[in-house]
Amino acid sequence: MRSPRLLTICCLAFAAVAASALCPISARAEVVRSPDGIIEVEVDLDNSAPFYAVRRFGGEVIGRSRLGFVLTDGSQLTTNFKIVSAEHSAHDETWTQPWGEKKNIRDLHHELRLTLEQQDDQARRLVLVFRVFNDGVGFRYEFPERASLDEIAIADEVTEFVLADDADAWWIPAMEDNRYEYLYRHSPVSQLHKVHTPLTLETDSGLTICIHEAALYDYASMTLVGKVDRTLEAELVPWSDGVKVHTHTPAQTPWRTIQIVDTPGELITSYISLNLNEPNKLGDVSWIKPGKYVGVWWEMHLNTATWGSGDKHGATTANTKRFIDFASRYGFDGVLVEGWNVGWDGNWYDNGEQFSFTQPYPDFDIEELSDYARKKGVYLIGHHETAGGIDNYERQLEDAYDLYERLGVRAVKSGYVVQGQNIRRREGNKEFREWSHGQYMVRHYQHALETAAKHHIMLVVHEPVKDTGIRRTYPNMMSREGARGQEYNAWDWQGGNPPDHTTILPFTRMVSGPMDYTPGVFDLLLEKGDRPNNRINSTLAKELALYVVIYAPLQMAVDMPEVYEAHLDALKFIRDVPTDWEDTRVLHAKIGDYVTIVRQERDGEDWYLGSITDEVGRTLETPLNFLDRDRVYVAEIYRDADDADWKKNPTAYEIDKMEVDANTVLTLRLAPGGGQAIRFYPKNQE
């Protein structure tokens, strides 16, 4: 809902910028500024070619950068343009997320719509739309319906980001075998080759910048290619025939986003991507419920159980009941079960066509388990591994979701484990191999999401296309993987995720949205498993802190029931911590070193703090001025013991209680590779 104050501001801002609306202009530059006047975007034509630039406080952030497209028929939508019209507008509203890291989101921006027309017989048009927020810029292209431009096959999008500084970049490689699942690297922009977004940058002038995209629908996802002179150019993920995008007019691209903030922590609380997506299209979403779950999953990664059938099969009726009992006893909402369905035997990785998504193995009684879970106040979380066999999956999709809906399965975790350009697609008798984040798969993920919504099912997607904020429009899109998660610690030949990995994720991968990292391992040395060369590279207190630091509305407690029951005092934090928030704030932030985040329980009074560090031990002074000034709180502190160390003594932790208020300054002591988790609740709740 819009408040009267916001409506007044909106009207005044609109009046200030609307004087030039719809007036035909020459090739002079058009300027649109953020509502606070700090960020300025200039768009103009240079020798009939469109360019844009971005300044902040008058200083260049993005230098003059090209815009436009090359089509497969040789047409150049890059030059020979004139400006037909420029429309300026302002927007200010506050909207409410059905779930999220912040309940109420303010969308405050100024917009420029610039219509270009080519000066030839075809008179093709291209519309440039820029929205400028106080913390960054979003822009996209629109292709109006024209007789001269109907079917479009894009060969190249020439969008550039010419950086003013040779900024330090935090990045993962694109167009390689392992999708997004790489350790982040750190180097100057001038050394980049081909990288994924979100791409996070720290400039010499002290700014933090993140380049990404929003509202990715029926289009190829964007990677970035490093060119000369600090220039990054959009490189769309191609179809197997080399075409980047097939579409027809009218059409629009995803938004290209440039978040620009003073500190890395402000990236975490920047909501440009959500604001550039359309409002909820699903109507009543009361059936969408954040929560926490356990499940038959970690033991397969530990190699003590198998996905396939046989003596070590994990997804049995008896084993699943054990997890249901545990979930019911300790207040978890769901139980994930992987390996329940026929198709896992043999080389499933290369044989996605063999999966059935409705036929369970004989030792998994899905009907009985659904009833058993329901009586225990728990629901099953389904699992669909496709192994890249998309045709096989889509043939069964409706029946699979229909089965789950009938059984009361409220959420599904899906997987697309393939390497490189190896998604299998058939047309007639021909088979093609596609990338997992090209237009073909963007279409598939959307089809699966909308089918799930029709059956009132929430999705958690592994091996996904990257998040671009579409959870605002389709709130059943709960979270994604899209980076190296916890499982790498169980079997990665390099030893798993180093301690700094989770201090990088909040500023890179997680700028795009929630992540299913699957935290919460207490058996840090994997003594219950069959992985002698692997371990969890953190302390137990850090595993607790990750429930606050790494946001996911459906959050897993990954370890085995017997491990948790040996540490019921530490398990209490996982049981208590919510997965839906009223507000989020960042107290400390240095990419790759440390981060401290506090979140307030939605519609509640409790606050939760998570603070983590890399391999270096630290003390962080932490004012508690986010607390209500009129109340005294109890701080329930889960911290590293004084002798804790991720290498030498990772399971050493202490639990303390103390009274605090908004004037308190806590000293957080974080062991090497460690962390601290705190619940703050009003004293009168005891």
Judged against a pLDDT cut of 60, whether residue 18 lies above it is answered with no
Task: State pLDDT tens for residues 383-440.
Answer: 999 999 999 999 999 999 999 999 999 999 999 999 889 999 999 899 999 999 999 9
Q: What's at 151, amino acid-wise?
A: E
Q: Does residue 1 carry a pLDDT above 60?
A: no
Q: Order the strands of the 458-461 sheet from edge to edge.
A: 477-480, 458-461, 411-415, 379-385, 334-337, 291-296, 554-556
Condensed to tens digits (0 to 9), the pLDDT of residues 96-121 reads 999 999 999 999 999 999 999 999 99
Q: Is 202 a catalytic residue?
A: no
Confidence check: pLDDT of 173 > 60? yes
Confidence of residue 22 (pLDDT cuts 50, 70, 90): very low
pLDDT score, position 654: 98
CA distance 193 to 189: 9
Q: What CATH number does the domain located at 291-577 have?
A: 3.20.20.70
Same fold, 4-275 and 291-577: no
Tell me what pLDDT residue 529 has.
83
Average pLDDT, whole number, for the chain?
95
pLDDT exceeds cutoff 90 at 329? yes
CA–CA distance, 257 with 140 (Å, rounded to integer): 9
pTM reported for the whole predicted model: 0.95
pLDDT for 16 equals: 40
First to last CA, the chain: 35
- Two tokens at 427? 């047309």
**Residue 623 tokens, joined:** 């004012």
CATH number of 4-275: 2.70.98.10
Can you give the pLDDT at residue 686?
Answer: 59
Pull the structure tokens for residue 648.
């030498």
pLDDT score, position 21: 39
Tokens 């044989």 appear where?
351
- Encode pLDDT of 668-686 as tens digits: 999 999 999 999 999 987 5
pLDDT, residue 10, reads 45
> How many CB atoms are located within 10 Å of the residue 620 CB?
17
Taking the domains of the chain in order of start, what are their residue ranges? 4-275, 291-577
Can you give the pLDDT at residue 8? Answer: 39
What whole-number distance in Å separates Cα of residue 156 and Cα of residue 158? 6
| Alpha carbons 513 and 563: distance in angstroms, whole number | 30
Rounded to an integer, the average pLDDT of 453-461 is 98
Which pLDDT score, from 0 to 100, does residue 24 have?
Answer: 39
- pLDDT at position 150: 87
> How much is the average pLDDT of 487-510?
97
Range scoring the smallest mean pLDDT among 26-40, 390-404, 479-493: 26-40
**Helix (H/G/I), strand (E/B), else coil: 93:** strand
Q: What does the pLDDT look like over 534-583, one tens digit per residue?
A: 999 999 999 999 999 999 999 999 999 999 999 999 999 999 999 999 99
**For 597-605, what is the mean pLDDT?**
98
Per-residue confidence (pLDDT) for residue 6, from 0 to 100: 42
Tell me the mean pLDDT in the region 240-257: 97
Residue 528 pLDDT > 90, yes or no?
Answer: no
In the block, tokens 């699979």 appear at 400
Q: Pick the catalytic residue: 487, 543, 582, 636?
A: 487
Cβ distance 599 to 581 under 8 Å?
A: yes
Of 234, 256, 203, 197, which is closest to residue 60 (Cα–Cα)?
Answer: 203
Q: What pLDDT, on the 0 to 100 scale, is given for residue 27?
A: 53
The CA-based diameter of the chain, rounded to the nearest angstrom, is 77
Q: What is the DSSP string of 149-163?
A: B-EEEEEEE--EEEE
